[in-house]
Amino acid sequence: MKKLDLHVHTMVTKSDKYFDFSLESLKQYICNLRINGIAITNHNMFNYQQYSDIRDVLLREYNCEVLPGIEINIGSKGFGHIICITAPEDALDFSVKCDQINSRINAPTDYVSFSDIKSIFVDLGKYLWIPHIEKAPVVKDDILDAFGNEILCGEVGSIKKFIYKINDERSLVPVYFSDIRPDIKNSSFPTRQTFFDINAVTLSEIKKCLLSKRGVALSETEGNSRFEVLQDLPISTGLNVVIGERSSGKTYLMDSINTQYEHVKYIKQFDLIERNPDKAAQQFIQDIAAKRSGFADSYFRDFSDVVNDVKSISYNEDQANLDIYINSLIKFAKETDRADMFSKCTLYNESQFMENSLSTLKSLIESVKNLLEVKEYRDIIDRHIERKDLITLLIELIQIYRNEVKRNLEAKWVNTAVIEIKKSLHIRSAATSVPEIKFYDIQLNRQKIRRFNQLASIIKRQKILQTQKLGRFTVQIEKRAFNGANEFRTLCGKKTAAFAPLVESYKENPFMFLQSLVDLIEVPETDYYKYFALVEYKILNEYGFPVSGGERAEFRLLQEINGAIGNDMLLIDEPESSFDNLFLKNSVNKLIKDLSRIIPIIIVTHNSTVGASIKPDYIIYTHRDIHCDPVVYERYFGLPSDKELVSKTGKKIKNIKALLDCLEAGESAYYERKNNYEVLNH
């Protein structure tokens, strides 16, 4: 097995933040982490002279092979990063090709196409191509498809993503690299490397190794069940428990991991304790509402669209226009006998042509195009609808659309002419003219108002929208009608808002209430729909009652753990400091154990309920040796079944002693409690 890091930067480019490259730092990185081979992969450039100098030093001093490479911006619409690596003997020719890449990248957002790559490198099979597949910026599928079988692996950005990809039969072989920029300021180094099952660090052996997922691993001897989280500490990719005496470096260990990695969920000791119960209760509900607001927004989305459509309707204006039309029509009828030559013209009171709405037709055309172009579920679509029929349908719909557009343009042209003629006739005539009025629009508005009032009344009805179980708790989202101006003001967040006059219309006439909301400057127009039904978020215990202060903390812990699934690692520091053993055993342990199958979890504990009953995959014991000068902090590690835990320096300690000292206050205390329990049992 060889430990490789095929993603190392040594020069500042247009795509980099400034760093001060240090060869000494790179040498220290290679030495400390015992790396057998690296690839130099600067952004869109390759410097042959620097590469040669670095390779000479690392080969001579550490027997570490250095491969020539480049990290390229590649794409069609937007870009991702792909690494290209070649053999050392081809470095000069590779340099010439990389210069062509560099000449086409003049800004960080520039990129080359696949055809550019093909024209520059010609024989793609001569190189090792490593696209970002689970690491930003990701190479898009169309580029991966264009490369075809020339791509053997893909770079991921976390252990979680590596494990997911290694277990996914359909996925590329995952690799995990540092993306390091060795700087003179480096004091610690990332442990993001991949072990390759090869005998020598050559391009051909690496490519041969990547033909199977069995060829790569996160650790040298333990496959993908272990990885180095820090330079001196391997841990399990599952559940890890950290034990140790007070001030032995446990929190320092957790802080170091949190600093070293991105996308880490870190639940610190005492984080969930409530120091002000009254304020905490209010904040608790607000936090729940914030996290669940997406559901409420989704539930009310259609109603929000209705509100946005109706809010601009002016019933009074429609009624005024209708009154003006009727009065004018009556007056015009009375003056018929006195009509002059201008008012007798047919066009004098002619109505305009209505233009047809094309939105439904456009939507239908887009739907058919989607059916033709979609790749996913292609086989199902083809099984039910023949492609030629879809094409025929699309052509016919487009022809209808063109005809309708032509008709609307004709109507618009005729209406323009009619308006000009009518204007000219009205100027010359003394007779009363009947104004244009859109009866259809007025009637449509009235129907919208009527249906809106019906819908708003339904929206106000009390209803449980969603219930979700989390451990022994139930999250309940409920809607109901507002009970007065104070609840409106609470939602608004502004005590000066005058909601009192609106309460009656809220109850009796939703449309009038909406019109009044429009006049309130304190209420944003995007929030109008929220004022028709109050959404309440409740957390209930197993008995159906609202949670107490202690239960709130328990729920928050479960929620934090459950929400960590979107992160790459979960750290929990002494959960027993805030919770009782029964809760930890019955609710927390199972949730953590299940989650550890997806992401690495590290728990610091002094409690046997968490430390032992949870059945961890790996044990880390931190120890402070005060007899040394200066004080030495050691980390011992091993499987729960190991007789001894061992440190990176080779020191050993008995596993049973570490467990009893940290989880049971020592062997004598453990047996004393055990005997007491046995006496009570009999």
CATH number of the domain within which 141 lies: 3.20.20.140
CA gap 30, 24 in Å, rounded: 10
Residue 143: inside a domain, yes or no?
yes
Residues paired with 156 in a beta bridge: 134, 176
The helix/strand/coil state of 393 is: helix
Residue 437: inside a domain, yes or no?
no
Are 345 and 297 within one domain?
Answer: no
Angle, alpha carbons 278-282-283 (nearest 5°)? 110
Angle, alpha carbons 156-219-206 (nearest 5°)? 65
Residue 140: inside a domain, yes or no?
yes
- The pTM (predicted TM-score) of the whole model is 0.71
The per-residue pLDDT for 629 is 61
The per-residue pLDDT for 81 is 96
The per-residue pLDDT for 186 is 75
Structural tokens at position 607: 């409690």
Q: How much is the average pLDDT of 479-484?
A: 91
Residue 118: inside a domain, yes or no?
yes
Contacts of 471 (CB under 8 A, 6+ apart): 554, 555, 558, 587, 591
Q: Which of 78, 190, 226 is nearest to 139 (CA)?
A: 78
Are 602 and 475 within one domain?
Answer: no
The per-residue pLDDT for range 489-527, each reduced to its tens digit, is 888 888 777 889 999 999 999 999 999 998 888 888 888
Are 474 and 407 within one domain?
Answer: no
Structural tokens at position 521: 């400057």
pLDDT exceeds 70 at position 69: yes
Are 534 and 627 within one domain?
Answer: no
| pLDDT tier, 578 (very low <50, low <70, confident <90, very high otherwise) | low
Q: How much is the average pLDDT of 114-133?
A: 95
Are 13 and 136 within one domain?
Answer: yes
Between residues 137 and 632, which one has the greater pLDDT? 137
| pLDDT tier, 164 (very low <50, low <70, confident <90, very high otherwise) | very high
Task: Look at the chain and report how many structural domains it folds into.
Answer: 4
pLDDT exceeds 80 at position 417: yes
CA 205 to chain centroid: 37
Are 189 and 116 within one domain?
Answer: yes
CA gap 658, 662 in Å, rounded: 6
pLDDT exceeds 90 at position 681: no
Residues paired with 624 in a beta bridge: 633
Are 363 and 291 within one domain?
Answer: no
- The mean-pLDDT minimum among 11-20, 53-62, 100-109, 550-559 falls in 550-559
Choose the final residue of a domain: 481, 505, 540: 540
The per-residue pLDDT for range 348-390, each reduced to its tens digit, is 667 777 788 888 899 999 999 999 888 878 888 888 898 899 9
The per-residue pLDDT for 350 is 73
The per-residue pLDDT for 335 is 67
* H or E stretch covering 348: none
The per-residue pLDDT for 561 is 83
Residue 467: inside a domain, yes or no?
yes
Q: Mean pLDDT for the chain? A: 86
Write 455-459 long-range contacts (CB < 8 A, 24+): 455/303, 455/306, 456/510, 456/511, 456/513, 456/514, 456/532, 457/510, 459/300, 459/303, 459/532, 459/533
- The mean-pLDDT minimum among 2-6, 426-430, 592-596 falls in 426-430
| pLDDT tier, 112 (very low <50, low <70, confident <90, very high otherwise) | very high
Q: How much is the average pLDDT of 293-311?
A: 87
Domain that holds residue 393: 336-431
Residues paired with 464 in a beta bridge: 478
pLDDT exceeds 90 at position 4: yes
Choose the final residue of a domain: 431, 461, 481: 431
pLDDT exceeds 60 at position 676: no
The per-residue pLDDT for 278 is 60
The per-residue pLDDT for 671 is 59
The per-residue pLDDT for range 237-283, each reduced to its tens digit, is 999 989 888 888 888 889 999 998 989 999 887 666 555 556 656 66
CA gap 292, 468 in Å, rounded: 11
Place of tokens 């209420």: 523
Are 257 and 285 within one domain?
Answer: no
| pLDDT tier, 568 (very low <50, low <70, confident <90, very high otherwise) | very high
Structural tokens at position 484: 């007065």
Contacts of 335 (CB under 8 A, 6+ apart): 431, 432
> By percentage, how much of the chain surpasses pLDDT 90?
45
Between residues 318 and 600, which one has the greater pLDDT? 600
Q: How much is the average pLDDT of 65-87?
A: 95
The per-residue pLDDT for 345 is 76
The helix/strand/coil state of 601 is: strand
Backbone dihedral angles phi then psi of residue 540, each to the nearest 5 degrees:
-115, 145
Do 174 and 130 contact (CB within 8 A), yes or no?
no
| DSSP code of residue 566 | G
Residue 273: inside a domain, yes or no?
no
- The mean-pLDDT minimum among 69-73, 421-425, 453-457, 597-601 falls in 421-425
> By percentage, how much of the chain surpasses pLDDT 70?
88
Are 94 and 215 within one domain?
Answer: yes
Are 609 and 655 within one domain?
Answer: yes
Backbone dihedral angles phi then psi of residue 288, each to the nearest 5 degrees:
-60, -45
The per-residue pLDDT for 660 is 77
Identity at 169, one-letter amino acid code = E
The per-residue pLDDT for range 204-215, each reduced to its tens digit, is 999 999 999 999
| CA-CA-CA-CA dihedral for 546, 269, 657, 669, to nearest 10 | -50
pLDDT exceeds 70 at position 562: yes
CA gap 336, 169 in Å, rounded: 86
Are 193 and 290 within one domain?
Answer: no
Residue 301: inside a domain, yes or no?
yes
CA gap 191, 193 in Å, rounded: 6
Residue 548: inside a domain, yes or no?
no
Are 458 and 389 within one domain?
Answer: no
